[in-house]
Amino acid sequence: MSRLEARELIIDVPGRRDGRALDLSLEPGQVWGVLGPNGAGKTTLLHTLAGLRAPRRGVVCLDGESLAALPRRRIARALGLIFQERQDGFPATVRETALIGRHPWLSPWQMEGGEDLQLAEAALKRLDVAHLAERLVNTLSGGERQRLAIATVLTQAPDIWLADEPTNHLDLHHQTATMALLTEQARTGRAVMLCLHDLNLAARWCDQVLLLYPDGEMCWGPRDAMLVPSALERLYGQRLVTAEVDGAPVFVPVR
């Protein structure tokens, strides 16, 4: 299983001082939750870890090699990314969209084969969108598109999942199903990092948490050490009440 590491990493958010450098390794089996207010740099952090943006300082390494030195194809075989925004200028069907997840695995002259198609179909079924396979993507609802994006990464089958608000637009049932899918990925030895806005999802499903403050400060560690009401109140500038439900803490903002 591949391993992603940030060494002395400072993400490049224009006009912000450096803050604390990030030194962490995404170990197989871990589920990381990244929490922070709007504009704190969660997406920037995720894109930097995926090698889509250059860091201000430091390096991101995949299996010990700097991302900047690796071919994109090699990275795409190990690392999958669920984007917050999607662009579909041209019409494509749901099945075609899931199938592009196979791109890093196929040589230029190779066409998608039966096995690729099976992987895509299985992923669509897993995300509950198999019945939409022939539909054009631009006719789907927001939640269906989100599930399709997750199905595309499932088809890609990377060792490391980086997901930017994967539960966006999802109803309660599909939020739970998605978090269950991601933690299942971790149980089978993959590493998962999620940007989340929902503290309670993080409390329930993540085992590691990274708090990202708007001034560039950050702290990270095991969930229980991080999800402390005083730290979260400072993070969001919002008073919280805490209760315990179903064995996990639940944070509710005070009116």
Partner 1 sequence: MHVARYSMAAVGRRGLVFPLGVLALAALAALVLSVAIGSVTVTPAELWRVTLGGGDALSRTLVLELRVPRALSAFATGGLLALAGALMQVLLRNPLADPYVLGLSGGAAVGALAAMLAGLGSLVISGSAFVGALASTLLVFGLAQGTGSWTPARLLLTGVVVASGWGAVVTLMLAVSPAERLPGMLYWLMGDLSYARTPGLPLVLLLGVCLLVFPLGRSLNVLARGALQAVALGVAVRPLEWMIYITASLLTAAAVSTAGSIGFVGLVVPHMLRLVLGNDQRLILPACALAGGTLLMLADTLARTLIAPEQLPVGVITALLGVPTFLYLLYRSR
Name the residue nearer to partner 1 (CB basis): 75 or 177. 75
Q: Residue 249: which H helix or E strand, with range?
A: strand 248-253
Phi, psi of 84 (to 5 degrees): -80, -35
Rg of the chain on CA atoms, in Å: 18
**55 — alpha (psi -120 to 50), left (phi > 0) or beta?**
beta
Q: Find the shortest distance in angstroms from Cβ 112 to partner 1.
A: 5
Q: Find the shortest distance in angstroms from Cβ 79 to partner 1.
A: 8
The span from the CA of 212 to the CA of 192, in Å, is 17
Name the residue nearer to partner 1 (CB basis): 41 or 51. 51
Name the residue nearer to partner 1 (CB basis): 156 or 175. 156
Count of Cβ atoms closer than 10 Å to residue 9 Cβ: 20
Q: Find the shortest distance in angstroms from Cβ 98 to partner 1.
A: 10
Name the residue nearer to partner 1 (CB basis): 17 or 90. 90
Q: Find the shortest distance in angstroms from Cβ 73 to partner 1.
A: 4
Q: Find the shortest distance in angstroms from Cβ 80 to partner 1.
A: 7
Q: Find the shortest distance in angstroms from Cβ 89 to partner 1.
A: 5
The span from the CA of 127 to the CA of 149, in Å, is 10
Name the residue nearer to partner 1 (CB basis): 113 or 222. 113
Name the residue nearer to partner 1 (CB basis): 9 or 76. 76
Are 149 and 85 in contact, with CB atoms under 8 Å apart? Answer: no
Name the residue nearer to partner 1 (CB basis): 98 or 232. 98
Question: Which residues of this chain interact with partner 1, rule CB under 8 A?
Answer: 47, 50-52, 71-77, 79-81, 83, 86-93, 95-97, 99-101, 103-104, 106, 108-109, 111-113, 117, 134, 136, 156
Q: Find the shortest distance in angstroms from Cβ 157 to partner 1.
A: 12
**Nearest 10 degrees: CA dihedral of 117, 46, 39, 30?**
100
**Helical segments of 1-113, H only:** 42-49, 72-78, 94-99
